[in-house]
A and B are shown apart, each in its own frame.
Chain A
Amino acid sequence: MRLQSAKWRWPSPSGLPPARLVGGLLALLLVLWLTAPLVELNLPRLASSSGRFLRFASQLAEMPDWGYLPQLLSKLIETMEMTVLGTFIAIVFSLPLGILAASNTSPHPWACRLTRDLLSLMRAMPELVWALIFVSAVGLGPLAGTMALAWVTVGFLGKIFAEAIEVVSPRALEGVRAHGAGRIQTLQFAVLPQALPDLVGTVAYILDHNLRSATILGLVGAGGIGYDLVMSMRMFQYGRLVMIMAAIYLIVTALDRGSDRLRGQVIYGQ
């Protein structure tokens, strides 16, 4: 089919848009249409629910429950502490694991493959699922949440670190080894100084991500503000709910801006 003589055409030899683009779009539309019942897409119900949504939003505009403030603050601090502790524990553990998972510093190719697969498994599932597992292992409370955050972060950071090590310049490694440096010294003076600077930006991103996750881990009893959040919604305590939502918005936004600025500084030089 050629559109050469049609009034409107695309800029291509046949006058038609690129086949891959059209094919992809059609395939997507087909899949969406097929999965609509799975998702229980119900447009009339959606339209009528906008009224309910507005009512819900107006209920949020109730007076905040100021008496809740002390508990809110303590739970917020707990959330932030879980984030920080979990992230730092993860940094400590991901350094040796990253070294093991990098093909140029791993003592044995098997160790490398095994570690890579382990890291992949660790980050495969969302933090909330791991939190659920850890709660059944160590009980309710912030320990389970901290462990879940650390676990997934190690999976992510370990991989990033391994990749950073693998792109380290081999000439630097040779230079240090040629002077008789042992394995650990090579790591300390040739590998780490090159691989580390990138990590500051990554850590900022991870802190941001972990804070967001930490706010909901309480849903399964793993500490933080998540529990109060869900409970206040279930028990229609809108005075508390609006305070919790505002608090979450504030701390997440603050860290988001902070990490943007930190990343900007690190990339463009302190």
Chain B
Amino acid sequence: MSTITVRAAAKRFSDGCLALDGVDLMIQDGSFTVILGPSGSGKSTLLRLMNGLETPSSGQIFVGQRPVIPKNLVKIRCEVAMVFQRFNLVDRLSVMTNVLTGRLGRRSWTGTMFHLFRAEDMAIAAKALDRVSLTERAWCRVDKLSGGQQQRVGIARALAQQPKAILADEPVASLDPVTGEEIMVLLREICDQDGITVVVNLHQVELARRFADRVIGLNSGRIVFDGSPAQMTPQALETIYQRGGDDAAAKREMALALA
């Protein structure tokens, strides 16, 4: 069971900003969840709490039975992979090496320190590359690839980890709409065919409607909506995108989201 449980999590940053204000959440194993919300609502923070890239000021996070604490980070990160908005690949290295970094959590430093990998790791990485249709680019430097291709490398890296869950933090925000949709299709495919739990941060409502099983709306660090896409009425959307009295900003956010 790799249910991700968030219990009364709150996060206040050192500059005083309250990113999350008491969030309770349980992500079901094998589901495809989309987290919607305006910028600054705490979507990114919530996702990053799940694999330990941020620590909560109060509350607890669990992946399966394991609490997300420094002692467990390596094991948790083996099971929970992440895909980033700006891809976060190592520019100078090849596509294959970047995908292979997905295997690092399970290997000790002795061989990998010299960029040596086992044959089975190479096979897993090759399969992941094939899954995202980038096999013929295996030896290219990643900074020579297009945005869409780089994001697919990011997804291949996540797949190479053989994770139980994939967290995607605004994976399509830096991509054009067509490429973005291809990425969402890929993520959905991975969820359906491999049974991997997928949690995606988005601000495009249409994509949420089309791909999600469950939509969670976040605003000012609190969950204000939790239901299926069918339940996303215009009133629900307004609740998600409201901006504390500032109607103009709210309307702008919604316009952008519905574009």
Q: Given A11-B100, A12-B139, A13-B139, decide whether A6 and B119 contact each other with a Cβ distance below 8 A.
A: yes
Q: Indicate whether A9 reaches chain B with its CB closer than 8 angstroms.
A: yes
Q: Which of A9, A12, A13, A17 contacts B119 (CB 8 A)?
A: A9
Q: Which of B25-33, B67-75, B109-117, B215-223 contacts A (4 or more CB under 8 A)?
A: B109-117
Please name all residues of chain A whose beta carbon is closer than 8 Å to the beta carbon of B115 when the two chains form the complex. 10-11, 17
A7–B122 CA distance with the chains assembled, in angstroms: 10
Indicate whether B97 reaches chain A with its CB closer than 8 angstroms.
Answer: yes
Query: Which residues of chain B are near A13, meaning CB under 8 Å?
Result: 139
Interface contact A7-B119, CB-CB below 8 Å? yes
Closest to A3 in B: B119
Contact present for B116 and A9 (CB under 8 Å): yes
Within 3-34 of A, Cβ neighbours of B (below 8 Å) are at 5-13, 17
Tell me the number of A-to-B contacts counted with CB atoms below 8 Å: 28
Q: B114 contacts which chain A residues (CB < 8 A)? A: 17
Residue in A closest to B125 when the chains form the complex, CB atoms: A11
B: number of interface residues (CB 8 Å) = 13
> In the complex, which of the residues B94, B111, B114, B116 has the most CB atoms of chain A within 10 Å of its own CB atom?
B116
Chain A residues within 8 Å of B111, by CB = 8
Q: Which residue of A lies closest to B122 (CB)?
A: A9
In the complex, chain A residues whose CB is within 8 Å of the CB of B119: 5-9
CA distance A37 to B111 in the complex (A): 34
A10 to B, closest residue via Cβ = B115
Q: In the complex, what residue of chain A is closest to B94 when comparing beta carbons?
A: A11
Q: Other CB < 8 Å A-B pairs besides A9-B116, A11-B94, 12 of them?
A: A7-B118, A7-B119, A8-B111, A9-B117, A9-B122, A10-B116, A10-B117, A11-B100, A11-B122, A12-B94, A17-B114, A17-B115
Give B contacts to A, CB under 8 Å: 94, 96-97, 100, 111, 114-119, 122, 139
